[in-house]
Amino acid sequence: MAMKNKTYATILLAVYAVVATVHVAADLQRFDHLPTKADGSLDILVVGDWGRRGLYNQSNVAHQMGKIGENLDVDFIVSTGDNFYEDGLIDEEDSLFYESFTQVYTATSLQKQWYSVLGNHDYRGNVLAQLSPVLTQKDSKWLCLRSFIVNSGIVEFFFIDTTPFQDKYFTETDHKYDWRGVLPREEYLSNVLKEVDMALEESIATWKIVIGHHTIFSAGSHGNTQELIDQLLPILEAKEVDLYINGHDHCLQHISSQNSQLQFLTSGGGSKAWRGEVNQWNPTEMKFYYDGQGFMTLRVTEGDISVAFYDVFGEIIHTWSNTKYTHMDS
Ligand SMILES: *[C@@H]1O[C@H](CO)[C@@H](O)[C@H](O)[C@H]1NC(C)=O
């Protein structure tokens, strides 16, 4: 009998341990994706606002991503969201997944892991379907989550679910959004902010990059996102984040900050672009604005980070780089 009690106690302890682990791990899911090249560098592609069955130059952008991706031997691909137009996916069987993703990004170099966030258009469909592991079974390169971390050693990527931050989606009547898993909203948002803040605080990576669908600053047609300026930007500045990368405005854009080292990069040129709408911006901050299609590359080493924007012909149309002498610090 005593033996039996002891067994029960052990089982109970084990159950508690599992519950405790799940609770801690529930903070932000973390993936390790370390560089594999001999020189330790990491190369990635970033594309946003793309899923339109190959139309609006999506296929041409995909083709160039394939070529550049092969030249650079990219480690993985990041999607800044608005993965499936106009209204996300209907369910896990939605053929749009094949027509706008699997059948478009066919180059060998693009058969790497994709890390995707959700955009506002994705929230107009069945969000749980887009987040479902069933899609990863259909196409193993697919992974879309709400907020999560990819740790690449020298650089850490913090992906943030930005759609629930924007007030207007909660009052808009002409579109329906799938808020399952997001309500109560205030609790959801404060958890995201707290988790990202903590994860940035604990990060020991040389380079910290935050990725979300929505703009913080942008001269494009959507413009700035005030909710993110108010709630997210102070955290990014306090934690000395290097880059904020987003989509949402269908353009390629680079804005630098006068208050910090933070650079604002928009890679939202995955398909439909050419809105022809550019707002006035302080020329010392506006480093680059291109209203057409294309994508971005990012190369990170222990001491250097560099960004390049490519157009639909595979031409480099803007570059930026920065250096950190990490070993000379302190
Ligand atoms: C495709 O790209 C070319 C070159 O930038 C551009 O002239 C053309 O308008 C684009 N087509 C569409 C449908 O956006």
Confidence of residue 325 (pLDDT cuts 50, 70, 90): confident
Could you tell me if residue 301 is inside a domain?
Answer: no
**pLDDT on residue 25:** 37
Position 24 pLDDT exceeds 50: no
Could you tell me if residue 329 is inside a domain?
Answer: no
Position 20 pLDDT exceeds 50: no
**pLDDT on residue 7:** 57
- Residue of 59, 274, 309 to mutate, ligand 1, most atoms within 8 A of C-beta: 274
Could you tell me if residue 326 is inside a domain?
Answer: no
Mean pLDDT within 304-319: 98
Q: Specify the residue with its C-alpha closest to ligand 1, atom 14.
A: 56
Position 18 pLDDT exceeds 90: no
Could you tell me if residue 180 is inside a domain?
Answer: yes
CA of 215 to the centre of ligand 1 (A): 23
Cα 129 → chain centroid: 18
Could you tell me if residue 320 is inside a domain?
Answer: no
Residue 222 among the catalytic residues: yes
Ligand 1 pocket, residues with Cβ under 6 angstroms: 56-57, 274, 292-293, 312
Give the whole-number percent of the chain exceeding pLDDT 90: 88
List of long-range contacts for 194-198, beta carbons under 8 Å, 24+ apart: 195/27, 195/28, 195/147, 196/28, 196/147, 196/158, 196/160, 196/232, 196/235, 197/235, 197/239, 198/27
Q: How many domains does the chain have?
A: 1
Residue span of the structural domain in which 187 resides: 2-295
Collapsing DSSP states into helix, strand and coil, what is residue 78? strand
Could you tell me if residue 183 is inside a domain?
Answer: yes
**pLDDT on residue 1:** 45
CA of 57 to the centre of ligand 1 (A): 6
**pLDDT on residue 27:** 83
Question: Can you tell me which atom of ligand 1 is nearest the CA of 292?
Answer: 5
Confidence of residue 215 (pLDDT cuts 50, 70, 90): very high
CA angle 132, 184, 22 (to 5 degrees): 55
Q: Specify the residue with its C-alpha closest to ligand 1, atom 7.
A: 292
Position 127 pLDDT exceeds 90: yes
CA distance 94 to 129: 9
Q: Specify the residue with its C-alpha closest to ligand 1, atom 10.
A: 57
**CATH code at 249?**
3.60.21.10
Confidence of residue 176 (pLDDT cuts 50, 70, 90): very high
CA distance 325 to 329: 7
Average pLDDT, the chain: 93
**pLDDT on residue 5:** 58
Question: Can you tell me which atom of ligand 1 is nearest the CA of 56?
Answer: 13
Give the whole-number percent of the chain exceeding pLDDT 70: 91
Could you tell me if residue 321 is inside a domain?
Answer: no
Confidence of residue 275 (pLDDT cuts 50, 70, 90): confident
Could you tell me if residue 302 is inside a domain?
Answer: no
Q: Specify the residue with its C-alpha closest to ligand 1, atom 6.
A: 292
pLDDT digits (tens, 9 = 90+) for 33-91: 999 999 999 999 999 999 999 999 999 999 999 999 999 999 999 999 999 999 999 99
- In one-letter notation, the amino acid at residue 242 is D
Catalytic residue among 63, 214, 222, 318: 222
Position 125 pLDDT exceeds 90: yes
Relative to beta strand 316-323, strand 286-290 is unpaired
The DSSP code for 111 is: -
pLDDT digits (tens, 9 = 90+) for 224-246: 999 999 999 999 999 999 999 99
HSE of 78 in the Cβ direction (CA atoms, 13 Å)? 31
Confidence of residue 94 (pLDDT cuts 50, 70, 90): very high
